[in-house]
Structures are given as C-alpha cells and as structure tokens.
Structure 1
Amino acid sequence: MPDGHDTTRLVLVRHGETDWNRDSRIQGWAPSSLTNRGREQARTLGAHLRESYEFDRLVASDLRRTRETTALLRDEGVQPEPNFDRAWRERCFGVYQGLTKTEIFEGHPEFAPTTGVSAVRATPENGESLLDVRERVLAGWEQLLADADGETVLVVTHGGPITLLLGDIRGDDIFGAITDHSQHNCAINELHVSEAVEIIRHNETV
C-alpha cells in the first residue's frame, strides 16, 4: 500500500478487440493486432480518458495489441509517455495459443473450470499456470503501488490480469475471479488506494 496520505488512483483498461477475441481464440502472448472495431474502441476510450483524468503515469503490457491500443489512446491526447512492462502481459498458453476455448477445454480438460482446483495449477507446455499469472500480476501491482504513491496511473493490459487482480482485491479465489467476472474490450476499471483498495468502476465501457 502507498505510504503517504494521498490517494493513489489507478485506471486499468483492457485492449481493443482483435480477430482472436472475436473468434474466441486463446491469444496468450501471440502478436495479434486490433480489428477496425478495436481501433475505434481505443479511440473512443482515449477521448473519454483525456476528458476524465490527468494521468501522472502510463504503464502497459508490452504485447502487440496493448501497444497498439496505447498508441491510439495517445493519439487522442492521453499522456504521459508509456512504460511497457511484461508483468501486465496476458497468460501465456504455450503450445495451445490459437486454439478456441472450446477446443482447449474439450481436448485438454485439465484446463477447464469444471475440472476443479487442479485447473488452477495446470501448466500448458511452454506456458503459465493461473497461479503463475496471478503471482506475476500481483508482483507488478505491488511495484506499481510503490512507485506511484499519490499519483493517477493508467494501466493498459488484458482481461486475465484485470480479473485476477480484482479477484484478489475482492478476496475471491482464482476460480471465482475468472469464472464470475469478465472484461469487455476497452472497459474501464478504477481503483482508489489509501489505507485500503476501493473499486470505484468495474468493466465500464464508453
């Protein structure tokens, strides 16, 4: 938590739509780009953020779709210069990236939510388990809070990191975080951090 008395405000947004989002394919770390609709979502979001916030810091996942979203936000006047951080990447699904969710869950049921707690620890070849991702994201979160005491920060990231972080803040288990909540493309989540963390906005689109 921040050491000072000023409230730290964090705005976390998901990237714009990609072809793989539209087709329900697992992207992981694949270099997928935004669709025309995704670019328009990002521009609309950028105009809203420019009018609604004055950011002191901009942090983003370094994957292609978040870089592209960040560039479009900045085209609409969102400041300042971005810092790209691997901690905010989506889950790496290794050899299964590109498959649809149905293909993965039916062909590899060890990753399906219906499998139970073991799915949280299941690790795809050359990929990450959900536990791995949560640990990475929470480490990035703690570092961001330490660096941004009293600031207003924009984080451009992915659905997985946002749902896992918000689940941890709410006290949900990992399963509850990923099965009971979702994130729309370019949705806004606003958190205020002082003595505790307060969720002000959740999964709001503009």
Structure 2
Amino acid sequence: MGSGLHDATVVLARHGETTWNRERRIQGWAPTSLTDTGREQATALGRHLTDAYDVGRVVASDLRRTRETARPVARLLDCPVEYEHGWRERSFGVYQGLTYEEVFERHPEFAVHEIGIEAARTEPEGGESLLAARERVLDAWNRLVAALDDGETVVVVTHGGPLYVLLGHLRGQDLVTALTEHDQGNCAVSTVRLTDEGPVVVCDGDTAYRESGATAARNPE
C-alpha cells in the first residue's frame, strides 16, 4: 500500500445470476450470460452503489458474466469500467460445465472441503490449481491497492472464488477456511476500508439491499 493512503475504499461485488448458477454447474472461464434475474440484480446493485458510495471507477473481471454485470453498474454510477484478467474466476479446464456434484463425486482430488489443502494444489486438465488462481487474484488486488488515490472509492465486479480467497486472505484465514466458511450470493457486496494501518473488512456478502428477493443456489462462481 502506498505511503499516506487514507480511507480509500474497495467495494467488492459478485456478478449477477447465470443459468449455470441455477444448475450448480462449474463455470470457470466459460462465456455464460446473466439470466433475467441476474440483469435485475445488476441494476439493483448499481442503484445501491450509487446511493451508498461515492464511486470513481469500476474494475471488473473480463469474463462475460462480469462484463454484463459491470456495464449497467458503471452506467448508473456514471463512471468508467476497466476489465482486468486477474479478477477472473478459477479456470477449471475440461470440467467446466459439469455440476459440482459430478466433479466432486468422480474426482474427489478437487474437493477442498473433504481433503483440505492438497486439493488446492491439484491442477485440472486445461485449467489452474486453486493456489495458482489465488496468487493471480492477490496479484490483481495488490496492483489495485498500489494504484489507489487518497480517499478514492473503487468497485470491483468479480466472482465467488476470488471473493472467498481475497476476503479470507485479508482476515488472515487459511485457504480451506476461506473457501468453506463464507457465502457470497449473486451481486453480494463486501466492503474493504484501506488505511495506513492496513485493510479492514467492514461489510461481507451483503444482499439485504436487494428488493427482488431473488437468489441463486450457493456456489463459488
């Protein structure tokens, strides 16, 4: 963090609902689109951020579902949006499109909740390990923080996986705990305040602002 940084704020948001969220399918880097509910969630997110924060810019994963979420958010905030590869979800390679149940039953070597950190080291064919994805996300976070101005507020639109690993890291949690003990619904909002004393998570996974009451099944992407 740069010297003298005072009360900068990063608002982290998950993308809106997709059909694969409803079906509990692993999305990874697949070009999945938002459902009608997901688009409504993105609009509600933009209105909430407009009311609650003085946002100067939006940064988003460059995958389709985050682009479709970030565009209406940035339009309502009347600010630019930058797309950043580092904020992508983990690539799950050849297993993208399968349900979580199918993958974890057939390939228990990926089940972090069952075998712990060893699963985070396992790399799917054509994809990346959880540890590699974590390092990519933390690199994107560190670059974002280094470029923040004093008092700036920036919104990051990303995915469940990056949110779990980043918020766990900021709280000093191990990776297994971060992935198994948190929940981030579609368009959930988490807020991190940055000061010279370090980052403080002041809001985690808030969806109470939404009026529609529509939620997707919990899954990390």
Q: TM-score range with shorter-chain normalisation? A: over 0.9
| TM-score w.r.t. length of structure 1 | 0.97
Deviations 1:130-178 (A, max 9, x none): 1001100000000000111321110000000011000011111111110
Please say if residues 11 and 190 of structure 2, whose CA atoms lie closer than 8 Å, have aligned partners that are also in contact: yes
Stretches of 4+ moved more than 3 A in 1?
A: none
Q: CA deviation at 1:80?
A: 1.4
2:58 maps to which residue? 58
Q: CA deviation at 1:115?
A: 2.1
1:183 maps to which residue? 184
**Paired residue secondary structure (1:67):** helix
Deviations 1:49-90 (A, max 9, x none): 111112122110000000000112134x21311110000000
User: What are structure 2's unaligned runs of at least 5 residues?
Assistant: 210-221
1:158 maps to which residue? 159
2:142 maps to which residue? 142
The alignment status of 1:193 with 2:183, answered yes or no, reads no
Tell me, in whole angstroms, the C-alpha distance in 1 between the residues paired with 2:5 and 2:110: 43
Letter in 1 for 2:136: R
Tell me, in whole angstroms, the C-alpha distance in 2 between the residues paired with 1:139 and 1:79: 27
Counterparts of 1:161-176 in structure 2, within 5 Å, are: 161-176=162-177
Counterparts of 1:31-50 in structure 2, within 5 Å, are: 31-50=31-50
* Fraction of identical pairs, as percent: 53
User: What are structure 1's unaligned runs of at least 5 residues?
Assistant: none
Letter in 2 for 1:81: P
Tell me, in whole angstroms, the C-alpha distance in 1 between the residues paired with 2:188 and 2:142: 22
Instruction: State the number of aligned residues.
Output: 205
2:99 maps to which residue? 100
Letter in 2 for 1:101: Y
Tell me, in whole angstroms, the C-alpha distance in 1 between the residues paired with 2:126 and 2:78: 36
Please say if residues 58 and 74 of structure 2, whose CA atoms lie closer than 8 Å, have aligned partners that are also in contact: no
Letter in 2 for 1:153: V
1:112 maps to which residue? 111
**Paired residue secondary structure (1:71):** helix
1:123 maps to which residue? 123
Deviations 1:7-49 (A, max 9, x none): 1100000000000001100000000000011111111111111
The alignment status of 1:73 with 2:73, answered yes or no, reads yes
Letter in 2 for 1:35: T
Q: CA deviation at 1:5?
A: 4.0
Tell me, in whole angstroms, the C-alpha distance in 2 between the residues paired with 1:47 and 1:57: 15
Supply the RMSD in Å over aligned alpha carbons.
Answer: 1.0
Tell me, in whole angstroms, the C-alpha distance in 2 between the residues paired with 1:143 and 1:28: 23
Tell me, in whole angstroms, the C-alpha distance in 2 between the residues paired with 1:136 and 1:149: 23
**Paired residue secondary structure (2:37):** helix
Q: CA deviation at 1:3?
A: 1.6
Tell me, in whole angstroms, the C-alpha distance in 1 between the residues paired with 2:78 and 2:143: 21
Tell me, in whole angstroms, the C-alpha distance in 1 between the residues paired with 2:164 and 2:134: 10
Tell me, in whole angstroms, the C-alpha distance in 1 between the residues paired with 2:117 and 2:82: 35
Task: Report the CA distance shift for 1:39/1:124 in structure 2 as closer, same or farther (over 3 A).
Answer: same
Letter in 2 for 1:154: V
Please say if residues 122 and 129 of structure 2, whose CA atoms lie closer than 8 Å, have aligned partners that are also in contact: yes
Q: CA deviation at 1:98?
A: 0.3
